[in-house]
Amino acid sequence: MTRIGLIRLLVVAALIGALELACRSGLIDHRVIIAPSQMASALWTLLASGALDADIARTLGMIGLVIALSIVLGFAAGIAIHALPRLRRALDPFFATYYAVPVFIFYPVLIAIFGLSVMPIVLIGVATAIVAMIIATLNGLDRVPRVLGKVARVHRLGRFATALQLQLPAAAPYLFTGIKLAVSYGFIAVIAAEFILSPAGLGRDIADAYADFNNRRMYALILFLLVVATLVNAILHGLDMRFAARRSGDRS
């Protein structure tokens, strides 16, 4: 491990240690925050009991569905919009302001339309994540070098082969950025929707535990979600690094 990585590890460990000490010594009331070791042990008990299994499957399944839909539909929409320059120019102002307006405020409206079910959560998740994928696809297709079109003609590649062998690899880094954002937005939107109002799921569990003053359960659930989100982000970051290394390797 590098020196900076080591320092970072020590800083994080010191912060957690300080929290542990402050909670154990009573400096922080246990009704506000419980010690990190207690959070971990509460989570361990909760996971071992299997009581969370249904909600974990539900929430992670929903996040997976939202991410998959956003990536596939966003990619398709990006290709379609890229092929229609006039539509694209007209849509540009919408793309530019989309993430500046609180789209999430439509979640209650979706509940009013579809009822308190899975549907509003999936829709608000896709609505939050898909536009990042569309924008990334447009960016990626913009950056495909023109010379690749000539290469395709020289090699007499068909349209499909050109797309698969030349355009897709050239646009790949931008598409990956879109995927990363879609994953992040999908996570945030689904958990937020569950937390605010939903029939079940981990977000709802946290809200219920908060309402019941059940701090052990609440902090165990929070810890679980933070660990999962951090892990997913770390995996995506690792893939990103590997792609970047391979691309720079290509050039040398």
User: What is the C-alpha to C-alpha distance for residues 43 and 216, in angstroms, rounded to an integer?
Assistant: 8
Q: Which of 25, 97, 248, 252 binds other proteins (CB under 8 A)?
A: 97
d(CA 247, CA 235): 18
Quote the DSSP letter at residue 146: T
Stretch that binds other proteins, among 68-76, 146-154, 163-171, 190-198 (CB under 8 A): 190-198
Closest separation in Å from C-beta 112 to other proteins:
5
DSSP class of residue 165 equals: I
Of 111, 126, 127, 134, the one binding other proteins by CB under 8 A: 111
Question: C-beta of 48: minimal distance to other proteins in Å?
Answer: 22
Select the residue interacting with other proteins from 13, 16, 27, 113 (CB under 8 A).
113
Q: Is 234 in the site for other proteins (CB under 8 A)?
A: yes
Spatial separation of the C-alpha atoms in residues 241 and 72, rounded to whole Å = 23
Q: Is 26 in the site for other proteins (CB under 8 A)?
A: no
Inter-CA distances, 91 with 69, 108, 121, 137, 189, Å: 21, 26, 25, 14, 23
C-alpha distance across the termini of the chain, in Å: 26
Q: Please state, as a whole number, how many other Cβ atoms lie within 10 Å of the Cβ of residue 80.
A: 13
The residue within the footprint of other proteins, chosen from 108, 145, 199, 238 (CB under 8 A), is 108
Site for other proteins in 76-95 (CB under 8 A): 86-87, 89-91, 93-94
Q: 224 near 43, Cβ under 8 Å?
A: yes
Residues that bind other proteins (CB under 8 A): 4, 7-8, 11-12, 31-33, 86-87, 89-91, 93-94, 97, 99-102, 104-106, 108-109, 111-113, 184, 187-188, 191-192, 195-197, 203, 206-207, 209-210, 218, 221-222, 225-226, 229-230, 233-234
